[in-house]
Amino acid sequence: MAPPSAIGIDVEGVRDTEGIVLPDPLTVNGVSARRAKAGKLIAGTAAYTSSDFFKHYDASKPKARRWDHYLSLESKSRIPSSLKGAARHLKKPGIISLGGGLPCAEYFPIEELNMKIPKPPHFTEEETSKSGQIVRAGKYDVSEGHGIYDLSIALNYGQGSGSAQLLRFVTEHTEIVCHPPYQDWHCALSVGSTSALEQTYRMFCERGDYVLSEEYTFASAVETAAPLGVKFLGVKIDNEGLLPEALDELLSNWDVQSRGARKPFILYTVPSGQNPTGATQGTERRKAIYKVAQKHDLYIIEDEPYYFLQMQPYTGTDAPNIPPPRSNEEFLKALIPTYLSMDIDGRVMRMDSFSKVIAPGTRVGWITASEQVVERFIRHNECSNQNPSGISQLLLYKLLDENWGHDGYLQWLINLRMQYTKRRDSLLAACEKYLPSEIVSWNPPAAGMFLWLKLDWHKHPHANTKKIVELEEEIFLAAVDRGVLISRGSWFTAERVGFEATDLFFRATFAAASSEKMTEAIERFGVAVRESFEL
């Protein structure tokens, strides 16, 4: 197994504390000035790192609240890895470490990696074939003076925070997008948000606790909590997702005796393009929910895999499309503010992931939260997955930082926005054409990958004799017979026991299939619905 801490080499970071005049909030253009001031990033094998090295330190901002009263026994009992104490000695000039168990880079059999990536703004596969760049990562680039991150570092053990090189990028990105309003926010890499979520449950929940969420929610979030003895409790939703009034009411009337559990203090929410409903909370909705969280001292898990899949406003089949954002600034302004951006208390853990915006197979994401919470998270990383794959980190660094930069990455995200807009519009066009409007209704999603279809089951000929879930199964199987797979709404209920559905839903994705296939699939689904409803 691995050494749990830095037994590596030169560890030097510069904390950005002194009188640099910085544009505040950080912009894409501000990054290069900050980096120039900080000097070349030197971070060798398993170098200790922290967001503090890379972010703007603003003493005028408040510090985050402490969450000791919510940390679980397990998390509180997590001790820093014992070899950590040795790390400070590593900075001594001339020290020889016989302490750690790092293998020697000489014995890593990969010498060089090349990959072909798009050159902004020419992002399509066709363009990349023609004009893409070949990016090379060598084994000893750093010592040979060709860069700041190479295979010898990436292939060795690393820190639970993730590598300094990629942590710098995500810290800057987070500051550009969210500019958190408190002082001591930090980022740490995760091996994806599913894993980050599981670790977060362990950090905050005890057996028997409830986690609050939208009444229909991401199935894996529920299934991950269940074996920990943690149940989900659904809060009513509307077209904009979670209803703050319903949340407030539920918490105000919480009765420990009858519920058999302490008052919930974790809210799990997917604010943009929620899975499965596709709902996106508007700015005012988020503010209102944050206020309820303050009132009841909730800790918010802001799970945002689809944040950058916010699409162009839907104009309908006949109206002309809205032109894409003309600049990165315009794009950033068009995004709905994050919870993190309004988090003056430090009560939000934001989960970002490269899964939907780069590729799921990278298995890299990151969290942003207060220093206290991030420190506990890193302790957990150290004794489980440790850190994301070094190869994934290196290639993401090469793509995002060394080649695209923040500017190119935002252009990529604009490109994704337009791609998903096109996909959504094509699915919606098919729905308008092929689904019986007297039965099926939907809200055009503003973000994400999913369309949530509501079927008016009252109009079903067997509405009086069959349960909603039975009708759902019947229609699901009829669709399968017609050659289309669509997810059943009941798969996504927050509460798995005793939940009585009052409506009939199906979830369709516009992420995976081509436009033609999607259209064909919706046509088939329309036939299945019509048959079941005997239209």
Partner 1 sequence: MAALDTIALATATKAIDMSHHVNTHSKSRPPNFLKGIIQYMSYGGMVSLAGGLPHPSLFPFQSANIQTFPHSAEARPDQLISLASALQYGSGSGDASLVKWAHDFTKKVFKPAYGDWEILLHNGNTDGWAKIVRLLCEPGDYILTERHTFSSSQSVWIPMGIRAVPIDQDGRGLIPEALDAALANWEAEHPGIRRPHLLNIVPVGSNPAGTTMDGARRKEIYDLCVKYDIIIAEDDPYFFLQFPVYKLGESSDPTPIPQEEFVKSLVPSFLEFDTQGRVIRLDTFSKTLGPGLRLGYFVANPQFKDLLLRGAQCETQAPSGWSQAIVASLLSKWAIGGYLEWVSNLRGQYLRRRNWMIDSLAANFTIKPAADISIPGAEGFVAYLKDTDKPIFSFVPPTGGMFIWTRFLYSQSPRFLELQKDEKVEDPEKVFGDELWTTFADSLVLLGAGIYFEPWQGKDKQTTKAAGGEEGIGYFRLAYSYSTKEEMELGIQRFAAVIKDVF
What is d(CA 196, CA 215) in angstroms, rounded to the nearest whole number?
22
**Smallest distance from the beta carbon of 401 to partner 1, in angstroms?**
14
Look at the block and give the residue holding tokens 């510069």: 14
- What lies within 8 Å, CB to CB, of 241 at 6+ separation is 214, 269, 271, 274, 277, 279, 280, 281, 285
**Smallest distance from the beta carbon of 182 to partner 1, in angstroms?**
28
As given in the structure block, the two tokens for residue 97 are 């470490």
In this complex, which beta carbon is closest to partner 1, that of residue 237 or of residue 521?
A: 521
**Smallest distance from the beta carbon of 417 to partner 1, in angstroms?**
11
In this complex, which beta carbon is closest to partner 1, that of residue 78 or of residue 350?
A: 78
**Smallest distance from the beta carbon of 49 to partner 1, in angstroms?**
15
Residue 468, CB-side half-sphere exposure with 13 Å CA sphere = 16
In this complex, which beta carbon is closest to partner 1, that of residue 101 or of residue 316?
A: 101
* 495, amino acid identity: E
**Smallest distance from the beta carbon of 64 to partner 1, in angstroms?**
23
In this complex, which beta carbon is closest to partner 1, that of residue 11 or of residue 251?
A: 11
Q: Are 196 and 365 in contact (CB under 8 A)?
A: yes
What is d(CA 500, CA 130) in angstroms, rounded to the nearest whole number?
55
In this complex, which beta carbon is closest to partner 1, that of residue 167 or of residue 340?
A: 167
Residue 409, CB-side half-sphere exposure with 13 Å CA sphere = 22
**Smallest distance from the beta carbon of 220 to partner 1, in angstroms?**
6
**Smallest distance from the beta carbon of 397 to partner 1, in angstroms?**
12
* 117, amino acid identity: I
Residue 184 — φ and ψ, nearest 5°?
A: -100, 50
Residue 186 — φ and ψ, nearest 5°?
A: -140, 160
CA dihedral for 498, 501, 505, 511, sign (positive or negative): negative
In this complex, which beta carbon is closest to partner 1, that of residue 348 or of residue 521?
A: 521
> Count of CB atoms within 10 A of residue 54's CB?
26
In this complex, which beta carbon is closest to partner 1, that of residue 290 or of residue 476?
A: 476
What is d(CA 124, CA 22) in angstroms, rounded to the nearest whole number?
35
Q: Are 156 and 102 in contact (CB under 8 A)?
A: yes
What is d(CA 36, CA 44) in angstroms, rounded to the nearest whole number?
19
In this complex, which beta carbon is closest to partner 1, that of residue 187 or of residue 508?
A: 508
CA dihedral for 183, 187, 188, 191, sign (positive or negative): positive
Tell me the Ramachandran region of residue 278: left when phi exceeds 0, alpha when psi lies from -120 to 50, beta otherwise: left
**Integer angstrom CA distances of residue 39 from 12, 33, 51:** 11, 10, 16
Closest CA to 240 of 287, 186, 195: 287
Preceding amide of 227 cis, omega within 30: no
Closest CA to 494 of 223, 284, 108: 223
As given in the structure block, the two tokens for residue 391 are 């190869």
**Smallest distance from the beta carbon of 479 to partner 1, in angstroms?**
9
- Mapping DSSP to helix (H, G, I), strand (E, B) and coil, where does residue 137 land? strand
In this complex, which beta carbon is closest to partner 1, that of residue 56 or of residue 356?
A: 356
In this complex, which beta carbon is closest to partner 1, that of residue 59 or of residue 96?
A: 96
Helical H segments across 303-346, by residue range:
328-334
* 154, amino acid identity: A
* 208, amino acid identity: G
**Smallest distance from the beta carbon of 4 to partner 1, in angstroms?**
4
**Smallest distance from the beta carbon of 407 to partner 1, in angstroms?**
15
* 143, amino acid identity: S
As given in the structure block, the two tokens for residue 415 are 């490109």
Q: Which residues pair with 451 in a beta bridge?
A: 508
**Smallest distance from the beta carbon of 343 to partner 1, in angstroms?**
26
**Smallest distance from the beta carbon of 76 to partner 1, in angstroms?**
8
**Smallest distance from the beta carbon of 344 to partner 1, in angstroms?**
31
In this complex, which beta carbon is closest to partner 1, that of residue 244 or of residue 276?
A: 276
In this complex, which beta carbon is closest to partner 1, that of residue 241 or of residue 448?
A: 448
In this complex, which beta carbon is closest to partner 1, that of residue 226 or of residue 322?
A: 226
